[in-house]
Structure 1
Amino acid sequence: MTLHVNNIRWTRGGNPILDGISFAPEPGETIGLIGPNGSGKSSLLRILAGIVAPDSGDVLLDGKNLRTQRRRSIARRVAMVDQHSDTDVDITVRDVVRL
């Protein structure tokens, strides 16, 4: 799976949250998102998961723009587990990711 993020911009209430975000990790490469509260980390992840669309810029998954993909198609390939997700069963983070 390849991921290319090109010049992402996203605003909320007229305020820029993400501006000019671009990266293209190599296969197998691990990337960390580090920043203070409110810096846009979760917003970027929601864009990468196809949950919200950027105001401008492109996210390409295997060369296909997420804007042109159906949500179901994206969900088959990309998942996001919120840090405060609550479940009714006692399972580990690893188990949730495996689902």
Structure 2
Amino acid sequence: MNNNSQILKGILEGCILSIISKEETYGYELLTKLKQCGFEDIVEGTLYPLLLRLEKNQLIIAERRKSSAGVSRKYYKLSEMGSIELEGFIEYWNKLHVNVNKIIGGMDDE
């Protein structure tokens, strides 16, 4: 795994928490939403291990339910710990992207 993959994994976790915070969802729907937001290269083999880790870390809660199509799906919702983690991610991301843009944008120190 290269450095970009490690960076992306951390960002994806925050994005997944954010999507799940808006509404309960299942894996394929989550994958579709990520792709619609520009993460076209994300595949199930990347997503499901992240979901499993988030569940093991008690940031999301999984519940198996039958869908309207009759298929059983694992639906995910944010836990209280997940909400706190998401708030921290958003705060850190807002600071990080500003600082990185200063550096790569070539802004001089004032």
TM-score by length of 1: 0.29
Which one has a larger percent helix, Structure 1 or Structure 2?
2
